[in-house]
Structure 1
Amino acid sequence: MIEFEVSDKDLLARIGRFRTKSGTVETPIFLPVINPAREVVKPRELWDLFGCNALITNAYIVKKYFGEKAKERGIHGILDFPGVVMTDSGAYQILAYGSVEVTNEEIIRYQEEIDTDIATILDVPTGWGVSSDHAKYTVDETLRRAKELENLRRRMDIAWVGPIQGGCFLNLVASSAREIGNLPFHIHALGSPTPVMEQYLFTVLVDMVLTAKMNAPINRPFHLFGAGHPLIFPLIVVLGCDIFDSAAYSLFARENRYLTDYGTMHLKDLEYLPCSCPVCVKYEPRDLMEMPKDEREKNLSMHNLYVCFSEIRRVKQAISEGRLWEYVEMKSHAHPSLLQALKNLKKYSEYIEKHSPQIKKRGLFFFSSIGLIRPEVTRHVKRLRERYSPPEWAKILILIPDLEAKNTRRRGLYRKIVSAICKKAGLDPGVAHVCFYSPPFGVIPMELAETYPLYQYEYAYPPDIESIKHVAHQILEYINRSQYTTIILLVEDGWSRDLAEIYANGPYRDKIKIERLPLTSGVKKIIS
């Protein structure tokens, strides 16, 4: 029985179990590409040494090199691999060479005959740098071939992949995802992303993936073809990619390139091997350079695989702990294009918030203004605007800045602050309503001050100017929605004074009264 069950989520990422006739795999999962005509790392080694229980190979190449023999022995026998085998159909060869010597019907039937577990129709990849007319042709032709599957397939125990085309033309990606999504596929895959990733166009990749995700059925796993560098694993998992594959581990090794989770290095440039995998513990860079080419390629491929599988485990752990955003933000500083791509998520913040968990196992860490687009922040801002109203008795708004230890939120302290301020201004403390203001959430009414995640977070003080402007904007929005007759903004030395300066010369200077946080002896004692 083919099924997909999600057990944990964070952002758009999910830990799931995809059941096939040859076993169950846990997502997110990286599938090493095996070229059956040139196996640098044997499939059995993937199983025995790496604990890899799924891989992908090319049915077109299998047919070309093994033909009837693969039908007799089955793809698992040909590869000597007891795990889950996915087969591509030859679409990459169409992209690279323009055509293949096989039809959609032939490759569908052949994949069934070699007993693959996950199969792919012979789609037509859009590619990169093509016209919109050609892109539309690839979308239409892929859809036509996808519709053929229903009448051509003979087995019901094989999971089928429905590829989504359109390339950089997002309107075509959206229509392709909707049309393919209406067909009975088990997995959806985004075609043609490899040139985008090779050029580090990660903002384009974000647009392509999320356009496809937003229009395809969410209950089916999502596959990203050709994504095999650990540098981008955290980002693509955040985007909701459950499965991804690549031959980069082997192709890079052939060129003496050494993968790390923060980029690619050439072996000749390394003084040390910054890794503790079995290969890097055993050899020095000079040892690898002096090896025969085939032996060096094998060892580099092994190292590259260790790095890939290690990164997947780290990403899964981050999902499990509910700290995937912190992890991807940290990793995004490995390359400017990654950080730019992370910032691009702002366009999709509403969609990400909708599908993100509301409660997590731990508090949140915020490092800079980029965290303002996190779903927890956008959710609070949205709910404060749509679901919250100040108490009817509240006539005075007193805005108290959060200190780093959040000790201004202590009941005894903020009551002393309110009493001191009202006494000084001749106001009635009985109609004073307290809200705290703090990055990244902005305005936090005292009634909500201890609810998740408005208390369970840490921010890297002092906040940057973008975060301060965000808080200032949220305060103004809150004031404009409210009916307070008096508004007092308390400030201290530091970032809250910078925030007050935004109002000092603006149109709200007469509406918002700025007062220094009253640090009386009693208040100082509580703070200290």
Structure 2
Amino acid sequence: TGTKKLEELEEFPCHCPICSKFSPKEIKKFEDNLRIELLAKHNLYLSFSELRTIRQAIREGNLWELVEQRIRTHPNLVKAASLIKKNKPFFEIYEKEYKNHGRLYACTESVDRPLIYRYEQKIINDYRPPKEAKYLIILPELDVKGKTSPTVNNWLDIINNNQPLQRKDIHLVFYSIIYGIIPYELIDTFPMGQYESLDSSSINDVFYQNSIKNSEAFLKINSNNYKKCVLLIPEFYINQFNESTQFPNKQ
């Protein structure tokens, strides 16, 4: 990717018909007019190929993943992508409600995706906790999302079979480093129940700060709905491989 001088290349990284047919050494020997013509054809092949890639990404709902891949090729593209932060409401209008696949979050820029912005707005402005709920219990997301986690299933059994408190008095939510607060009844819906993220300290720090901000906003708006709020922070949990794993507490 990017621009290279012909003199810098021993072989072409491109697989277009021009680059597959000729080597850099051969093209350097051609006359200027022929060399310019071949370069122009090469650029057209790449441009049309990229257009097809973009159109397919739009059809599949993966345009933001593609953008995040492409901007890694140059620092100025990363700077340009930062403009999304200032225009989230505009981009959110054109974001699909549902997609065929889960979302992948692999870089710090992912935190500014319109899909995450949409959820942040809806959970604050549209969502209302159950009226009968008196106690809020916040469960952490573990290595496996939501109810598919062995440890979470165990917690749910304890909560559902709790004698002193009736289940209707308890409002269960999850804390997600990507989305912040996710109500239990929404944990299997798109996109909260269908995503994967890269376990990286730099990425996690960005998402952590954003999710804490969103969680604080949720609690501030709904604090009068509850008598008590409990955040469950385990020392260890059982992962998907039935192994005891230390919980990564965030200080």
The question of a shared fold, defined as TM-score above 0.5 by the shorter chain, is answered with: yes
Deviation at 1:364, TM superposition (A): 1.0
Match of 1:157 in 2: none
Residue 291 of structure 1 aligns to which amino acid in structure 2?
A: F
Deviations 1:117-156 (A, max 9, x none): xxxxxxxxxxxxxxxxxxxxxxxxxxxxxxxxxxxxxxxx
> Is 1:449 paired with 2:191?
no
> Is 1:274 paired with 2:13?
yes
Give yes or no for contact 2:139–2:172 (8 Å, CA) kept in 1: yes
Give yes or no for contact 1:439–1:459 (8 Å, CA) kept in 2: no
Match of 1:69 in 2: none
Deviation at 1:423, TM superposition (A): 10
> Is 1:487 paired with 2:229?
yes
Matches of 1:320 and 1:454 in 2, distance apart?
21
Deviation at 1:518, TM superposition (A): 6.9
1:78-477 alignment to 2 at 5 Å?
Answer: 262-406=1-145, 408-410=146-148, 414=152, 416-418=154-156, 420=158, 428=165, 430=167, 431-462=169-200, 463-477=203-217
SS of the residue aligned with 1:268? helix
- In structure 2, the CA distance between the partners of 1:427 and 1:268, relative to structure 1 (3 Å rule), is farther
Residue 269 of structure 1 aligns to which amino acid in structure 2?
A: E
Matches of 1:432 and 1:465 in 2, distance apart?
30
Deviations 1:90-115 (A, max 9, x none): xxxxxxxxxxxxxxxxxxxxxxxxxx
Greater gyration radius? 1
Deviations 1:459-499 (A, max 9, x none): 112452111111111211111111222222223xxxxxxxx
Greater share of strand: 1
- In structure 2, the CA distance between the partners of 1:526 and 1:316, relative to structure 1 (3 Å rule), is closer
Matches of 1:448 and 1:458 in 2, distance apart?
17
Residue 187 of structure 2 aligns to which amino acid in structure 1?
A: A
Residue 485 of structure 1 aligns to which amino acid in structure 2?
A: K
- In structure 2, the CA distance between the partners of 1:444 and 1:393, relative to structure 1 (3 Å rule), is same
Residue 332 of structure 1 aligns to which amino acid in structure 2?
A: I
Deviation at 1:421, TM superposition (A): 7.4
Give yes or no for contact 1:367–1:460 (8 Å, CA) kept in 2: yes
Matches of 2:239 and 2:36 in 1, distance apart?
66
Give yes or no for contact 1:417–1:518 (8 Å, CA) kept in 2: no
SS of the residue aligned with 1:461? coil
Deviations 1:222-251 (A, max 9, x none): xxxxxxxxxxxxxxxxxxxxxxxxxxxxxx
Deviation at 1:329, TM superposition (A): 0.3
Give yes or no for contact 1:368–1:464 (8 Å, CA) kept in 2: no
- In structure 2, the CA distance between the partners of 1:526 and 1:297, relative to structure 1 (3 Å rule), is closer
Give yes or no for contact 2:135–2:227 (8 Å, CA) kept in 1: yes
Alignment root-mean-square deviation, CA: 2.5
Residue 87 of structure 2 aligns to which amino acid in structure 1?
A: Y
Matches of 1:411 and 1:266 in 2, distance apart?
52
Identity over aligned residues, as a percent?
Answer: 30
Deviations 1:406-426 (A, max 9, x none): 1x42498546315657999x9
Deviation at 1:284, TM superposition (A): 1.0
Give yes or no for contact 2:149–2:240 (8 Å, CA) kept in 1: no
Which 4+ runs in 1 deviate beyond 4 A? Answer: 418-424
Give yes or no for contact 2:71–2:77 (8 Å, CA) kept in 1: yes
Gaps of 5+ in 1: 1-261, 492-515
- In structure 2, the CA distance between the partners of 1:291 and 1:461, relative to structure 1 (3 Å rule), is same
Deviation at 1:454, TM superposition (A): 1.3
SS of the residue aligned with 2:190? coil
Residue 392 of structure 1 aligns to which amino acid in structure 2?
A: K
- In structure 2, the CA distance between the partners of 1:297 and 1:349, relative to structure 1 (3 Å rule), is same
Deviations 1:38-59 (A, max 9, x none): xxxxxxxxxxxxxxxxxxxxxx
Residue 226 of structure 2 aligns to which amino acid in structure 1?
A: Y
Gaps of 5+ in 2: 243-251
- In structure 2, the CA distance between the partners of 1:526 and 1:275, relative to structure 1 (3 Å rule), is closer
SS of the residue aligned with 1:265? coil
Match of 2:218 in 1: 478
Matches of 1:480 and 1:526 in 2, distance apart?
34
